A and B are shown apart, each in its own frame.
Chain A
Amino acid sequence: MKLISRRNVLKSAAAASTLPLLGKSAFAMDPVKVAFVYLGPIGDHGWTYAHEQGRQAAIAKFGDAISTTIVENVAEGPDSERVIRRLAEEGNDLIFTCSFGYMNPTLKVAKRFKDVKFEHATGYKRAPNMATYNARFHEGRAICGTIAGHMSKTGTVGYIASFPIPEVVMGINAFTLAAQKINPDFKTNVLWVNSWYDPPKEADAATALIDQGADIITQHTDSPAALRVCEERDLLAFGQSWDMTSFAPKAHLTAIMDIWGPYYIDRIQKVMDKKWESADTWWGFKEGIVALAPYNERIPADVVAEAEAIKAGIIDGSYDVFTGPIKDQSGKVRLAEGRLTDGDLLSMDWYVEGVQS
Chain B
Amino acid sequence: MSDTIIISIIMTVIGASTPILLAALGELVVEKSGVLNLGIEGMMLIGAVVGFAVTLTTGFHLLGIVIAMFASTLSAMLFAYLTLTLTANQVATGLALTIFGIGISSLMGEPYVGKTIEIFSSWFPASLAEHPQLRVIFGYSPLVYVSLALTFGVSYFLKKTRAGLILRAVGESDISAHSIGYSVIGVRYAAVAFGGAMAGLAGCYFSLVLTPLWSEELTAGRGWIALALVVFAAWKPSRLLLGAYLFGAIMTLELHAKAAGFSFIAPELLAAMPYLATIVVLALISLRKSSGLAAPACLAKPFKPST
Residues of A within 8 A of B215 (CB): 41, 43-45, 199, 223-225
Residues of A within 8 A of B106 (CB): 5-7, 41, 43
Asked if A211 and B8 make an inter-chain contact with CB atoms under 8 angstroms apart, the answer reads yes
**Chain B interface SS verdict (over half):** helix
Asked if B103 and A6 make an inter-chain contact with CB atoms under 8 angstroms apart, the answer reads yes
CB of A132 within 8 Å of the partner chain:
no
A21 to B28, alpha carbons, bound, how many Å? 52
Those of B57-107 within 8 Å (CB) of chain A: 99, 102-104, 106-107
- A211 touching B9 in the complex, CB below 8 Å, given contacts A43-B113, A246-B115: yes
Interface residues on B, range: 35 or more
Asked if A198 and B9 make an inter-chain contact with CB atoms under 8 angstroms apart, the answer reads no
Those of B1-29 within 8 Å (CB) of chain A: 4-5, 8-9, 12, 15-16, 19
Asked if A212 and B260 make an inter-chain contact with CB atoms under 8 angstroms apart, the answer reads yes
A295 to B258, alpha carbons, bound, how many Å? 31
Asked if B220 and A197 make an inter-chain contact with CB atoms under 8 angstroms apart, the answer reads yes
Chain A: interface residue total (CB-CB under 8 A):
43
Asked if B211 and A207 make an inter-chain contact with CB atoms under 8 angstroms apart, the answer reads no
CB of B261 within 8 Å of the partner chain:
yes
Asked if A194 and B211 make an inter-chain contact with CB atoms under 8 angstroms apart, the answer reads no
CB of B219 within 8 Å of the partner chain:
yes
Residues of A within 8 A of B267 (CB): 192, 194
Looking at B32-40, B248-256, B279-287, B299-307, the stretch in contact with chain A turns out to be B248-256
Asked if A246 and B210 make an inter-chain contact with CB atoms under 8 angstroms apart, the answer reads no
Min CB distance, A131 to chain B, in Å? Answer: 29
**8 Å CB contact of A209 from B4, B114, B212, B259:** B259
A43 to B214, alpha carbons, bound, how many Å? 9
- A6 touching B107 in the complex, CB below 8 Å, given contacts A1-B99, A199-B220, A356-B261: yes
Residues of B within 8 A of A225 (CB): 211, 213, 215
Chain A residue nearest to B11 (CB atoms) is A207
CB of A247 within 8 Å of the partner chain:
yes
Min CB distance, B158 to chain A, in Å? Answer: 29
Chain A positions 265 through 298: 1 when the CB is less than 8 Å from some CB of chain B, otherwise 0: 0000000000000000000000000000000000
Asked if A194 and B113 make an inter-chain contact with CB atoms under 8 angstroms apart, the answer reads no
CB of A228 within 8 Å of the partner chain:
yes
Residues of B within 8 A of A224 (CB): 114, 213, 215
